[in-house]
Amino acid sequence: MVDVATNLSNIQENIRQACANANRSPEDIRLIAVTKYVTIERTKEAINAGIDNLGENRNEGFLEKYNEIQNQVNWHFIGSLQSRKVKDIINQVDFIHSLDRKSLAKEINKRATHPVNCFVQVNVSGEESKHGIFPDEVISFIKSLSGYENIKIVGLMTMAPHVEDPEDVRSVFKKLRDLRDEITKKELPHAPCEWLSMGMSNDYHIAIEEGATHVRIGSKLVG
């Protein structure tokens, strides 16, 4: 396996290049290492290489690593979250990337002891298999959360369909950005909604050119 430091420096170079293409600053990009496939040892290697944001998609994987690593890093929960499991993780994670329904928002609001930073997951491409709210329902969904004092909508998240040529999903990223811009303009107190969590191993360079602020990279970074 290639060491994480080498992968990281390649990815950082690609991030710099994508930022240059789009006239953006690399400082505006948060790199989240998705460690769902790897061991705690490999995760620690990533931290030693300079990673300070980790992403997990299942409660079990998250808790196993959180129990060792604690708050050395920012924790991102990126997978679909069952309402009945919210209480097990909600006060340990720093960001939830997968808020996609009212019942989940209700449970988070009830169980959290402080406002939680949430990304609303959007199903931009309309694929049946994908989680997330359809684009034309996102604004009313976000507005409906205004009374939930423990929910803060910090941005939108999407997973692009898997394609051979990532250029084919550029329009998905662009749509998410347009939607974000529309929401930001409304200046909703509970939903600053400034950020875009989009881009994975195969398409992060395109996502950054289209405005991603948080990229979630697993296989190309930690293996």
User: Rule CB under 6 A: which residues touch ligand PLP?
Assistant: 34, 36, 57, 78-79, 159, 200-201, 216-219
Q: How far is the CB of 215 from ligand PLP (least distance, A)?
A: 9
- Helix 135-143 / helix 170-185 crossing angle, nearest 10 deg: 30
Name the residue nearer to ligand PLP (CB basis): 54 or 138.
54
What are the percentages of helix, strand and coil residues in the chain, rounded to 5?
45, 20, 40
Q: Where are the beta strands (DSSP E) in 100-211?
A: 116-121, 151-157, 195-197
| Residue 101 or 148 having the CB closest to ligand PLP | 101
Q: How far is the CB of 34 from ligand PLP (least distance, A)?
A: 4
Residue number, 83 or 201, with CB nearest to ligand PLP: 201
Q: Of 223, 154, 142, give the one whose Cα is nearest residue 193.
A: 154
Work out how close the CB of 132 gets to ligand PLP at its nearest, in angstroms, rounded to a whole number. 10
Residue with the shortest CB distance to ligand PLP: 218
Dist CA 210 CA 171 (whole Å): 9
CB of 53 vs ligand PLP, minimal distance in Å: 12
Query: DSSP string of 111-123?
Result: H-SS-EEEEEEB-
CB 204 within 8 A of CB 22: no
CA dist., res. 211 & res. 24, Å (int): 9
* CB 60 to ligand PLP: min, Å: 14
User: Smaller CB distance to ligand PLP: residue 146 or 219?
Assistant: 219
Which residue, 12 or 188, has its beta carbon nearer to ligand PLP?
12
Please, which residue, 7 or 148, has the CB nearer to ligand PLP?
Answer: 7
Question: What whole-number distance in Å separates Cα of residue 168 and Cα of residue 182?
Answer: 24
Bridge-partner residues for 56, per DSSP?
Answer: 77
